[in-house]
Structure 1
Amino acid sequence: MNPEARTFPTPALTVIPRERHVISRKNISKAALRVLYRLHDAGYDAFLVGGAVRDLLLGGHPKDFDVATNATPDEVKKLFRNCRLIGRRFRLAHVVFGPEIIEVATFRGTGEEEGGDGDRHIVDGLIVRDNVWGTIEEDAVRRDFRVNALYYDISDFSVRDYVGGMQDLEQRVLHLIGDPATRYREDPVRMLRAARLAAKLGFTIDPRAAAPFEELGPLLTESSPARLFDESLKLFLAGHGLKSFRMLEQCGLLKFMFPATARALRRGDQALRSLIEQGLANTDARIAEGKSVTPAFLFAVLLWGEVRDLAHAWMAKGVDGNEAWARAAAHVVGEQCQRVAIPRRFTLTMEEIWSLQPRFEQIQRKRVFRLMAHPRFRAAFDFLLLRGAESPALRELGQWWAHAQQLPQEVLAAALPASGGKTGADAAATAAPPRKRRRRRKSGHKPDSA
């Protein structure tokens, strides 16, 4: 037997019949049901698995549905004309129904049996390729957390539990399957997944699963930056960003993903913490309301403290303001992208949001209207409002710009100095746009009676 197989626990099946669980087919996407039934009708085992089963059992409404089967990827492709095979590290079948994709995975094995179909390659404990097919029992113990190893059987609508996932759902705790240190070395991103799931579900992380974080957290710096970008979107742009941020800090993992953010917060800047947490809370609220969000704004929030401090340090040394902000942005973005590969289209927006902040202090007529016409004005203005926690002056400045946007252009222009004058909140107070006064009816005047 392959030595790797001995790291997995022995599965013990518990079957929860239809009448003892809450999963209903009406809450499963029609596309997923079509895949499940076609596999079943063709003689293959077919199960809904993973997060969808977990969330359905918790009363949620999952957006993604994954299927596990004993059919190989090539056999799945023969059943579905709308199927494409993807992945080298993990071979998968994607069955496409318009905008919806149902991911179909063949049961993974715990070790390569003699004459087995597939290949598995491990380097220094890290799985670099894993296409060894196995049984459903092997597949269950190969999954990450016990709550993600529950299988909904389309043949009789029961739920199969091989590792104690139902108990964890009831106790609201995350247990890793197998030895935590070994499983994290296989895939360090599992540490981030633990923090994300705990935040999303409101679960606690089993102390044994959390114990290796400090020692093995540095392995995250060796993970693919592109993959960590995808993980950061799941952490911060799935509706539970604030909880995820707090969980990353609590677990000691933030410094491995966002070192600049962790450094700035260690300096004890409570205004920065307020800005970050409010920015995440606002993003969560927008997602809950079905509004659009952009990663650029959120990354600008997370990295602001280091950018601001570096820019001020360079200006204190006599560097021109525009040059100081440009240098600071380039330095922080360059370091961050070595950890998390933020695409250029987002880093450009981040740099514009940061560079526009000093321009809000320039309260002169041409500069105000030029800034308002900037394509990133709205994002930069929202960022300015978040910065209100930094000082009363910034709060006043944000209020001035909020009021200025509500005025007719000619009224605002008349209230602004043409050039020169003060900058910042003092200028905002001096050039405060006049408020419209209501006409008061003369006392004693009554309208004619009809």
Structure 2
Amino acid sequence: MQPNIQTHLQIIPRDQHNVSRRDISPNALRVLYRLREGGFTACLVGGAVRDLLIGGHPKDFDVATDATPEEVRALFRNCRLIGRRFRLAHVVYGREIIEVATFRSNSDDGSGDRETHEGGRLLRDNVYGTIEEDAVRRDFTANALYYAIEDFSVRDYVGGYEDVRNRLMRLIGDPETRYREDPVRMLRAVRLAAKLDFEIEAATAAPIPQLAPLLREAAPARLFEECLKLFLSGHAVASFQGLERHGLLGALLPETAAALKSNRSGALRRMLLEGLKGTDARVANDEPVSPAFLFALLLWPAYCRALASLQAQGVHIAEAQRRAADRVTVHQLEAIALPRRFSLPMQEIWLLQPRFSQRQRKRVFRLLAHPRFRAAFDFLTLRLSASDEHAEDVAFWREAQEKPGDALSAQLDAQRQSEDGADEGDAPRKRRRRRRKTASGGE
């Protein structure tokens, strides 16, 4: 538990800030007013206040109050209580959920509602307190700002208002203690800095490289969700560069970090950053991005390194490809719980890559009909940013997708006849015997 932190209340009146009720969810305002009418203190808190202050448009609106979760539920019929480690009330309006949290204390009252791991990790946090105690308990100063509905002021207890104005991410309290409480805060620092275009304050950044191994203690399922937030929120390039800069890439994607380090040409890193740039563009255009494609990109350097290692050991190419895909996936699962519904198509994207160099008619049409063709082709196109050796394949398959089937078939037949004719001047080759088709119809 971190030592007592001095708070100093700064009230920023309505005429000195730009937070307006026009930009706040009407449902969040309903919750705030209902709690106030019920005799409770209630404020908009956290990321929504921070984002509104810098001119953003928050998607989520959280409320903090001195009402207990049970008291919140008594006021709202559309309320459900969730969580064990951190008890919360969710007030549900159709597809929108307003999260309501009771002010937390930063101390242990002996009730057992605040529990920490021997390493300092916070396991349970349900000791209620005052708004001042709640502010100190939050992670970053920028997330500890409160918008009060009674006078439309912003309340700042830990210097967050100045930090937002200076675009700084600063931890409240001792950084090492806070990271040990919850190692995922290191990823949050990088993600929020990337999202907001903030700098991580020097003392907040300093312990991260040394404490990065603590991420191994975090639940792999939680790290998977954090990865999606890092890379699918429209700031993937900045997030990746932040992970590299603060020594977190090796803890999150260890084999990719090792592969990038050993790739002297930088080709794999160029491809990865180009792919993340494309991901950001798709998010900006409200286009979907598959987690399978994202992880195919993030783990491609690891796959290439594993494949090269197996081939150097004399493993046949097709077998090496399968084993490399399995090896990278299994090793990554130790850190991030990548669900099979994403890991299997990720592997398919990798294993389809060699098939783009094939021009036999049956194989061409079989690949075009493959359910993973489009993703695999997009991935092949992306590989051009690392090397132009695939330019001919990309051109062929781009044209193949646009041609009618009969025209493509005629082109492939003509191409084969041309190749056969070119061979006539060569030494006679032994004619290959056709294999009989099996009962199953295979070749």
- TM-score normalised according to structure 2 size: 0.91
Q: Does 1:145 align with 2:140?
A: yes
Question: What are the residue-to-residue correspondences of 1:359-378 with 2, within 5 Å?
Answer: 359-378=355-374
The answer as to 2:23 corresponding to 1:23 is: no
Spell out the pairing of 1:233-252 with structure 2 (5 A cutoff): 233-252=228-247
Summarize the Cα distance change of 1:13–1:400 in structure 2 as closer, same or farther, 3 Å threshold: same
Residue 175 of structure 2: which of 159, 180, 187 is its match? 180
C-alpha distance in structure 1 between counterparts of 2:392 and 2:311, whole Å: 24
Q: Secondary structure at the match of 1:405?
A: helix
| 2:2–2:173 CA contact under 8 A, matched in 1 | no
1:100 deviates by: 1.1
Separation in 1 of the partners of 2:53 and 2:39?
27
Residue correspondences, number: 417
Counterpart residue number, 1:306: 302
The alignment's C-alpha RMSD in Å is 1.8
Distance 1:120 1:362, change over 3 A: same
How big is each residue's C-alpha offset from its partner over 1:378-416, in whole Å with a ceiling of 9 and x where there is no partner? 000000001113332212211221122112221211111
Q: Cα distance, 1:5 vs. partner?
A: 5.4
Q: Secondary structure at the match of 1:402?
A: helix
1:46 aligns with 2:72: no
Q: Which residue of 1 aligns with 2:248?
A: 253
Equivalent residues of 1:21, 1:57 under 8 A apart = yes
Q: SS where residue 146 of structure 2 aligns?
A: strand
2:318 matched to which residue of 1?
322
Which has the larger displacement, 317-326 or 176-185? 317-326
Choose which of 61, 67, 73 in structure 1 pairs with 2:63.
Answer: 67
Conserved 8 A contact 2:307-2:320 = yes
Is 1:123 matched up with 2:125?
no
- Gapped regions of structure 1 (runs ≥ 5): 424-450
Q: How does 1:35-434 map to 2 (within 5 A)?
A: 35-113=31-109, 119-124=113-118, 125-267=120-262, 268-417=264-413
Quick one: structure 1 residues 417 and 324, their matched pair in 2 at CA, closer, same or farther if it must change by over 3 Å? farther
Deviation at 1:44, TM superposition (A): 0.7
Matches of 2:49 and 2:72 in 1, distance apart?
Answer: 21
Q: What SS is found at the alignment partner of 1:195?
A: helix
Distance in 2 between residues matched to 1:422 and 1:252, nearest whole Å = 55
C-alpha separation between the residues in 1 aligned to 2:232 and 2:418? 40
Cα distance in 2 for partners of 1:310, 1:215 equals 27
Deviation at 1:305, TM superposition (A): 1.4
C-alpha separation in 1, matches of 2:129 and 2:404: 70
**Partners of 2:298 and 2:401 in 1: CA distance:** 27
> For the Cα contact (< 8 Å) 2:349–2:375, is it kept in 1?
yes
Structure-2 change in CA distance of 1:173 and 1:422 (3 Å): farther
Give the C-alpha shift of residue 33 in structure 1.
Answer: 1.2
SS in 1 for 2:334: helix
Q: For 2:93 and 2:322, locate their aligned partners in 1 and report how far apart those are by CA, in whole Å.
A: 45
The letter of the residue matching 1:122 is T
Change (3 A) 1:239 1:415: same
- Unaligned runs of 5+ residues in structure 2 are 420-443
In structure 2, how many angstroms separate the alpha carbons of the residues matched to 1:367 and 1:418? 16
Q: Secondary structure at the match of 1:416?
A: helix
Q: How far did residue 111 of structure 1 move?
A: 0.8
Matches of 2:391 and 2:373 in 1, distance apart? 17
CA contact (8 A) 2:2 2:177 kept: no
The answer to whether the 8 Å contact 1:349/1:376 transfers is yes
Distance 1:25 1:260 in 2: 48
Q: Which residue of structure 2 lines up, in the alignment, with residue 432 of structure 1?
A: none
Query: How much does 1:316 deviate?
Result: 4.3
Q: Is the 8 A contact 2:221 2:336 kept in 1?
A: yes
Aligned residue for 2:428? Answer: none
* Contact 1:172/1:202 (8 A) holds in 2: yes
* SS of alignment partner, residue 89 of structure 1: coil
Distance in 1 of aligned mates of 2:397 and 2:309: 27
- The structural deviation recorded for 1:356 is 0.5
Q: Is the 8 A contact 1:229 1:342 kept in 2?
A: yes
Amino acid at match of 2:193: A
Structure 2 CA distance, aligned partners of 1:273 and 1:63? Answer: 32
Secondary structure at 1:262's aligned position in 2? helix
Q: Distance in 1 between matches of 2:50 and 2:156?
A: 11
Distance of 1:175 and 1:319 partners within structure 2: 51
Q: 1:354 to 1:178 in 2, by over 3 A?
A: same
1:429-444 equivalences under 5 Å are none
Q: Which amino acid aligns with 2:25?
A: S
- Tell which deviates more after alignment, 41-50 or 268-277: 268-277
Q: Is contact 1:365–1:418 with CA below 8 Å preserved after alignment?
A: no
Counterparts of 2:253 and 2:305 in 1: how far apart (Å)? 16
Q: Secondary structure at the match of 1:339?
A: coil
